[in-house]
Structures are given as structure tokens and as C-alpha cells.
Amino acid sequence: MTKLEEFAALLVNETTDFKNALEKLEELNEQLREIKVKMDLTEYKTIIEIHQQKMASQLNSLERFQNHFDDKIAQAKIYPNWAVVVFIVSLVFGVGAVVLLIMR
């Protein structure tokens, strides 16, 4: 009978320990439910704002480069004006000379 009493006492001790552990877990669970996690995004906001400013400045410099490049392309000419005028004048004189030779 003593073994049965020891076994019963051990069983009672284990169940009380389990009950105490369960109560502690319930308390912790309640505390976890009450805790609200707040995220601090101020650092990320400043980093994102700095990045946006950098991107805006890069975009502005790219637009300035593109405008400058477009202006240069618009002003670019294959031949200078004086060369075109000399060619046209020589062409007119050449055609005039051929016409005079043919008419004589």
C-alpha cells in the first residue's frame, strides 16, 4: 500500500506542478495579448525622403543633359553655311557655262 500512496502523492505533485505551469502560461499569454507593438518608422521615413531628394536631383540633371544634348543636335549641321553657298554658286556657274557652250 505504501507504493500506492507514494504513487498517488507523486501524481498529486505532478498535477499541481502542471497546474501552476499552466497558470503561469495563461498569465504570460494575457500579457502578450495586452502588449501592442508599435513600429518606429521615423528613421525609415527620413531615409526614404533623402533617397527621394537624391532621385529628384538625378532626374533634374538628366533632364538638363537631355535638353543640352537636344539643343546641340538641333544646331548640328553636316556642312558649314559658307561651303553650301560656295557649292550652289559654283553649280550655277557650271550649269551656266555648259548652257553657254551648247548655245554657241
> pLDDT tens digits, the chain, 104 residues: what are they?
688 888 888 888 889 999 999 999 999 998 888 887 777 788 899 999 999 999 999 999 999 999 999 998 888 777 788 888 999 999 999 999 999 888 87
Angstrom distance (rounded) from CA 29 to CA 59: 52
| CA neighbor of 42 nearest in space, from 50, 31, 32 | 50
* pTM of the predicted model as reported, rounded to 2 decimal places: 0.42
Q: What is the pLDDT of residue 76?
A: 78
Q: What is the pLDDT of residue 1?
A: 67
| Domain ranges, ordered by start, for the chain | 2-78
All 3 cell numbers of residue 85?
553657298
Angstrom distance (rounded) from CA 6 to CA 12: 10
